[in-house]
């Protein structure tokens, strides 16, 4: 294995399959910016249908990356989603890995 391959290997091994996906990475990004985010806001921000978003949220919740709380505000039913510590770490790791990967591949060979 060459030096470049070795480096790329290290970077890609840090990538989590659950997060290495546009929508789920987007969900974690939005959640990271707020304490709690409403289901409707996520749906609008990511341009997803309710069913599609629910599926992704289910995957993230099973992985322990997010928390979902359902409740009422007056008579209005609301679903609030927040990121767990593991979720914040997963986002950080993914962004770091992506940056490292892009930097490594784009770096001109000596």
Partner 1 sequence: MTDLNLSGRLICVTNQHVDFSEELLESVGSLRHRVRTDRHNFWFPLVLFGLFTLLSAPLYYGWPFHFSTFHCRHVGEKLACSGTGSYHFGYLSPGFAANQLGNWLTLYWVTSLLFGYAATIWFYRHRASTVGLKVRIWPAVVVGLGLLVLVLLMKTNWQSIEPPFLVSGDFWIRGTAILVILSIGIVALAVLERSIVYVVYSLGFVALALLVSLYNVSNLVQWEGLGRFITGSNQAIPNVVLPGIYLLIGGFFFWAVQHDSRVTAHAIESDSE
- Summarize as ranges the residues that interact with partner 1 (CB under 8 A): 1, 4-5, 8-9, 12-13, 22, 25-26, 29-30, 32-42, 45-46, 73, 80, 95, 98-99, 101-102, 105-106
Tokens of 53: 């978003």
Report the nearest approach of partner 1 to the CB of residue 100 (Å): 9
Report the nearest approach of partner 1 to the CB of residue 57 (Å): 15
Element (H, E) at 14: none
Region of 47 please: left (phi>0), alpha (psi -120 to 50) or beta.
left
CA atoms lying within 13 Å on the CB side of residue 9: 6
Report the nearest approach of partner 1 to the CB of residue 45 (Å): 6
């Amino acid at each position: 294995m060459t030096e470049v391959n070795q480096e790329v290997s290290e970077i890609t091994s840090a990538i989590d399959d659950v997060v290495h996906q546009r929508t789920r990475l987007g969900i974690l990004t939005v959640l990271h910016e707020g304490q709690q985010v409403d289901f409707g806001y996520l749906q609008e921000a990511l341009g997803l249908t309710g069913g599609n978003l629910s599926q992704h949220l289910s995957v993230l919740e099973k992985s322990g990356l997010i928390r979902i709380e359902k409740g009422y505000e007056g008579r209005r039913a609301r679903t609030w989603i927040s990121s767990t510590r593991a979720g914040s770490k997963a986002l950080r790791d993914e962004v770091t890995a992506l940056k490292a990967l892009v930097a490594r591949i784009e770096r001109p060979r000596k």
